[in-house]
Amino acid sequence: MKKLFFLFPFIFFGCKSNSTIATDATESISKSEVNYKVKEDDVASILKYLSSDELEGRETGTKGIEKAAVYLEDFFRKNSIKPYFSSYRDTLSTFKTPAYNIVGYLEGTDSKLKSEFVILSAHYDHIGLDKKGLNGDFINNGANDDASGVTAVAEMAKYFSKTKSNKRSILFVFFAGEEKGLLGSKHLAKKLKATNFNLYTQLNIEMIGVPMKRDYLAYITGYDKSNMATKINEYTGDKTIGFLPKEAEYQLFFRSDNFPFFEAFKVPCQSISTFDFENFNFYHHVSDEFKVMDVPHMTSFIQELLPAVTHMASSPTKEILMTK
């Protein structure tokens, strides 16, 4: 997550906020039949490598993030996700040294709907090495921020590749430069906009490595800007998404890789997260490591989202709409 300069998560421990669940007058639809199971071992494997010391915190422009890029490219190849451009690498024009978004493409199965795109995304960069360190640890591994989100998007790519349940086309995007000021998403949004890219919606995933202790599973940024929260809950048949007052207070909608796409395309582009300022005190910290992640939670949460992303990619009409 892009640095919140005035924000330190530990100061909010024990401060409970009121919350609401996304609901409206329409009748909820039944949960989709998803005959696919996300495997805990697979989730752990991806997350563990991306947050390993070998990658040295994945700072944009370093050897560590290059290793992550190669890993993600290989993952796409193994799962029959094609490059959208001439290769998986989308070279940033917004960064001083060579840096790359990793962009995979799965064509839709419907002859008409495949011209519309859904973007599922997360940023794979982090903040690299800490000069001061803590108890001899100098590596900001970024397990929660945002190897957890990358893991979710990778598992979704695998799911759609195996099930072919997407009538719309999907871009699976791993952004670089998020921690430098949303540089990767700014670059790609501008590039796609120039090609008349037909974007329906974007779901960006940020920091889902630990669960919240609330009566819903996650929150969405820019809650009232579209009906995405309500539709996700309809699609899952569950209290998946709620409103987190802290999100609105700190305007998180503008602080992640959804915002450049919203700004360019003026369609619902939002981020989903389970980091609620009370459940994780290692934000931008060397202790943001694999060992403090809740892999069973991540696995069940990714499974929970599969009906939602399936509906996004296959509904006969565009059901997720701007509200203001």
| pLDDT per residue rounded down to tens, the chain (324 residues) | 655 543 433 233 333 344 456 544 333 334 557 899 999 999 999 999 999 999 999 999 999 999 999 999 999 999 999 999 999 999 999 999 999 999 999 999 999 999 999 999 999 999 999 988 888 899 999 999 999 999 999 999 999 999 999 999 999 999 999 999 999 999 999 999 999 999 999 999 999 999 999 999 999 999 999 999 999 999 999 999 999 999 999 999 999 999 999 999 999 999 999 999 999 998 899 999 999 999 999 999 999 999 999 999 999 999 999 996
pLDDT of residue 10: 29
pLDDT of residue 123: 98
pLDDT of residue 134: 86
Helix (H) or strand (E) holding 90: strand 89-91
Residues in a beta bridge with 121? 173, 204
- How far apart are alpha carbons 167 and 237 in whole angstroms? 21
- How far apart are alpha carbons 188 and 194 in whole angstroms? 10
pLDDT of residue 135: 86
- How far apart are alpha carbons 29 and 82 in whole angstroms? 33
pLDDT of residue 282: 85
List of residues 6+ apart from 261 with CB closer than 8 A: 119, 185, 189, 199, 202, 267, 269
Look up residue 81 and give its DSSP letter: P
- How far apart are alpha carbons 241 and 113 in whole angstroms? 26
pLDDT, one tens digit per residue, over 132-161 is: 888 889 999 999 999 999 999 999 999 999
Q: Are 102 and 174 within 8 A, CB to CB?
A: yes
Domain-wise residue ranges, the chain: 34-228+242-314
Where does 34-228+242-314 sit in CATH, by number? Answer: 3.40.630.10
Burial class (CB in 10 A: 0-12, 13-18, 19+), 308: buried
Burial class (CB in 10 A: 0-12, 13-18, 19+), 18: exposed
pLDDT of residue 133: 82
pLDDT, one tens digit per residue, over 282-319 is: 889 999 999 999 999 999 999 999 999 999 999 999 99
Distances (CA, A) of 159 to 86, 152, 166, 203, 243: 24, 10, 10, 16, 28
